[in-house]
Amino acid sequence: MPVKNRFAELLPEIKAWRHDLHENPEILFDTHRTSAIVEEKLKAFGCDEVVTGLGRTGVVGVIKGKSNKSGKVIGLRADMDALPILEQADVPYKSKVDGAMHACGHDGHTSMLLGAAKYLSETRNFDGTVVLIFQPAEEGGGGGREMCEDGLMERWGIQEVYGMHNWPGLPTGQFAIRSGPFFASADQFDIVVEGKGGHAAKPYLTIDTTVVASQIVVALQTIASRNVKPIDKIVVSITSFETSSKAYNVIPQTVHLRGTMRAMSEETRQLAMRRLHEIAEGTAAAYGATADVDFRDGYPVMVNSDEQTEFAAKVATSVAGDCAEAEMTMGGEDFAFMSNERPGAYILVGNGDSADVHHPEYVFDDEAMPAGCSWWAEIVEQRMPAA
């Protein structure tokens, strides 16, 4: 694999950074230790500017090239947060935090971008400015949105932005990408069904919320099968069904449903949102019950810009010899907030034959890091060649 020799030399150091981060995972915006480490290293590398506190606990580092005739400014983004998962992977650097784990490889993403930052600070073999973005709260907290709302793009004049994620099942160090819609929107909803509780031996005196809620669960699946075009992608999943009673002989007064909705276009997203309300409320009314729907916007569809995607694939091919066409995924990714503000591209780097992300036995493959670091560095050096 034609990676940069400097990253092969730095690999033991970069691995040590990742293992330390892995042992000390932090969730959502509570990345105080991680952010402090990132800040310390960026300053030690000699970044021209290091700013903390964007998006609450985000960190930004700025590196200027040997020249700036192009006036180009490129953003490179890595996420830092872990997940509330109890680790079951058998590794010597296992999480020391009970119930928290880097089960999505954000420790690897942060370490790879730090490795690229060290190299770029040493060489500065480019014409322009690179802005290193270390983001908290990707796992459902919307840290990307908060960093953008804090003026990330405007403050440094970022013109385009690039992101990366490791991908189990893709050969280690290989790349895959696609143009256009890539990761789905990811929204959440709660439905509270209110009926009339009572004795289980006298159901005729009740409005049985378990029956009503069950009908809602089934009916919601018609959004995908009967409301949305078959060629459009949509997922509506009920992930929790909780009654107000745990007794064997009580028909509960209320049932609380929780779920997620995923779509690949804003048009489909809006249609499904409307139908969710109509189906839940209408089904409940048909049985004499009520349904209160609380729908919360999460992450928008993540769309890769055509030009930046073509360039990112070219860079990946120069590093790994090839770049595959990635499939769409119904997972959400809050890099979408950044790529909505600026043209951008998000690429996958192979993690080999590992457990999937968000699994308690997931392990990030350290051997992918030279390829990842090289891709970051080449994005800068090829997009902003030295004058």
146 is annotated as contributing to ligand binding: no
Q: Render the burial of 43-52: b for 16+ CB within 10 Å, e for the rest.
A: eebebeebbe
The gap from C-alpha 138 to its chain's centroid, in whole angstroms, comes to 5
Residue 102 annotated as binding site: no
Buried b (16+ CB within 10 A) or exposed e, 64-77: bbeeeebebbbbbb
Strand order in the sheet with 254-263: 234-243, 254-263, 185-194, 290-299
Ligand-binding site membership of 106 (annotated)? yes
Asked if 349 contacts 368 with a C-beta cutoff of 8 angstroms, the reply is yes
Neighbours of 271 (CB within 10 A): 18
Q: Determine the Cα–Cα distance for residues 168 and 352; give it in Å rounded to an integer.
A: 5
Is 104 within any annotated ligand binding site?
A: yes
Q: Evaluate the CA torsion angle 240, 242, 248, 251 in order and state its sign.
A: negative
CB 63 within 8 A of CB 49: no
Please, how many CA atoms are within 13 Å of residue 209, restricted to the half-sphere of its CB?
A: 25
Question: Cα–Cα distance between 385 and 89 in angstroms, integer?
Answer: 42
Residue 32 in marked binding region: no
Q: How many CB atoms lie within 10 A of CB 1?
A: 13
Helix segments in the chain, DSSP class H: 5-23, 32-45, 106-123, 143-149, 152-156, 209-220, 222, 266-286, 306-320, 336-341, 369-383
Nearest Cα to Cα of residue 109 among 334, 382, 359, 365: 365
Length reported for the chain: 387
Summarize the annotated binding site as residue ranges. 104, 106, 139, 165, 358
Summarize the annotated binding site for Mn(2+) as residue ranges. 104, 106, 139, 165, 358
